[in-house]
Structure 1
Amino acid sequence: MLTASAWATPPTRTELIESLVSGVDRYNPSNVGILEDYLYHQIRSEEYDCLANLAILKLYQFNPDLYNPDVVINILIKALTALPFPDFNLCISLLDERPPNANPDEPDPLPTLLPILSSLHNLLQSCRFPAFWTLYRSDKAESLRDNYTVECVGFEDAVRNVVVHAVKAAFQRIGGERLGSYLNLSGDDLTAYVAKLGWSVNDATGVVTVPPNPDNQIESTVVQENIQLPQLVKVIAHAQVATVQV
């Protein structure tokens, strides 16, 4: 899972992109092409740079004539798999104003796909993983799959990484069938994926054991309060005064 430092400054970010994201040229519209090319590099290489993608959306906000709906959709697809970071909502916050469609021969796909992407995000964020895969595989999302996520290398595995992060935090053991529904995997594919994670499976019961980690270990905590007598006297005196007033 992506760390906060890697989120802010991905190790794959080049010096040129760093200068565009952090420097005085951040809002120069002539640089939008460079940032868009960088986005498509992320799509092809499984890399991710939220701040660079947010810079594109900000440029679109300031320069509506630069707006490219395909770029926006791809940014949202990449942000979808960044949970638990709030990237998707950050991107949505920059989409309040969109220019009217200037070319009726090429309708804007964003108004149609945005509700689907938002629903997918909500399902993933609320850990409703089987429902996520059902919607993603549905006819309703066919355009999203056929035209966009098919080009995003490793998209489904990135979603599974989000699932694994949640499972590791919530379970010590989980049924194989249930885990498969979360990951949208079954049979040999599920077995190979679990083995890749380094998790063990009980062949007799099919139960998957999740290795211990700080999030899934239940540890009792003893809280000891040291109250001095003068403090206790003040509490009792305050209670007596309140009783008399009543």
Structure 2
Amino acid sequence: MVSASAWATPSTRTELIENLVSGVDRYNPSNVGILEDYLYHQIRSEEYDCLANLAILKLYQFNPDLYNPDVVINILIKALTSLPFPDFNLCISLLDERSASTNPDEPDPLPLLLPVLISLHNLLQQCRFPAFWTLYRSEKAESLRDNYTVECVGFEDSVREVVIRGVKAAFKSIRMERLGNYLNLSDEDLNGYVAKLGWSIEASTGVVSIPPNPDNQIESTVVQEQIELPLTFA
């Protein structure tokens, strides 16, 4: 789980990007190209910098002529797997309302893909993991897969990290079949993934034991309060 400080200032952020995100040049439209290049670096390297990506969306708000739908979609894809942080909703709040483009030479893919991305986010947030994979593999998301997530290195594994965070918080043990449905993995791929996590599997029952953590352990807590009342005399 990423800490709040690492979220705000990731260790992979360069000094140049730090100056653009935190300095007076944050709203300088001439810097949008640098931030967009940084986004595509994140796409290729599995790095992530929410504040830098939000700076791009803010520049698009102030300068509509800079708007690039492919950049917006890639920002939303990266934000999709940041749960439980509210990155996706923060990005959505900075988007202007747009209708589908009537220009056949340069159609805007965002109006068609945005409902799919929002649905995928909602399913992940609600821990409806099998439904997420069903929608993601469906014809509705075909354009998203073929044109965008295929270029985002480690996207599906990042989704699985969200799933694992949910499983660790809710279960002490889980059947392999159920876990496979959550992760969209089976057979050797599933066995390898569980082994990589360091979780143990009971071969006779097919049950995976999840190590204890603060979220899946029930512990009673006794809270004591001492209240001192002022003495009053009649």
Indicate the TM-score class for this superposition, using the shorter chain for normalisation: over 0.9
Cross-structure match for 1:8: 8
The answer to whether the 8 Å contact 1:10/1:49 transfers is yes
Cross-structure match for 2:24: 24
Distance (whole Å) between structure 2 residues aligned to residue 75 and residue 219 of structure 1? 40
Greater Cα radius of gyration, structure 1 or 2: 1
Cross-structure match for 1:240: none
Letter in 1 for 2:35: L
Letter in 1 for 2:165: H
Q: What's the CA shift string for 1:203-224, capped at 9, x where partnerless?
A: 0000000001111111122345
Which residues in structure 2 correspond to 1:149-228 (within 5 Å)? 149-224=149-224
Which residues in structure 2 correspond to 1:1-246 (within 5 Å)? 1-98=1-98, 101=101, 103-224=103-224
Structure 1: gaps of 5 or more residues: 232-246
SS of residue matched to 2:208: strand
Q: What's the CA shift string for 1:10-38, capped at 9, x where partnerless?
A: 00000000000000000000000000000
Distance (whole Å) between structure 1 residues aligned to residue 223 and residue 82 of structure 2? 36
Letter in 2 for 1:192: G
The worse-fitting range, judged by mean Cα deviation, of 190-199 and 220-229 is: 220-229
**Number of equivalenced pairs:** 231
SS of residue matched to 1:222: coil
How far 1:185 sits from its partner (Å)? 0.4
SS of residue matched to 1:47: coil
Of all paired residues, the percent bearing the same amino acid is 84
How far 1:96 sits from its partner (Å)? 2.5
The answer to whether the 8 Å contact 2:175/2:207 transfers is yes
Distance (whole Å) between structure 2 residues aligned to residue 228 and residue 8 of structure 1? 42
The answer to whether the 8 Å contact 2:54/2:91 transfers is yes
Letter in 1 for 2:211: P
Letter in 2 for 1:213: N
Change in Cα spacing, 1:227 to 1:21, as seen in structure 2 (3 Å) is closer
Letter in 2 for 1:160: R
Distance (whole Å) between structure 1 residues aligned to residue 84 and residue 130 of structure 2? 18
Structure-2-length-normalised TM-score: 0.94
SS of residue matched to 1:54: helix
How far 1:52 sits from its partner (Å)? 0.3
Distance (whole Å) between structure 1 residues aligned to residue 30 and residue 52 of structure 2? 15
How far 1:190 sits from its partner (Å)? 0.4
Distance (whole Å) between structure 1 residues aligned to residue 138 and residue 201 of structure 2? 31
Distance (whole Å) between structure 1 residues aligned to residue 102 and residue 137 of structure 2? 32
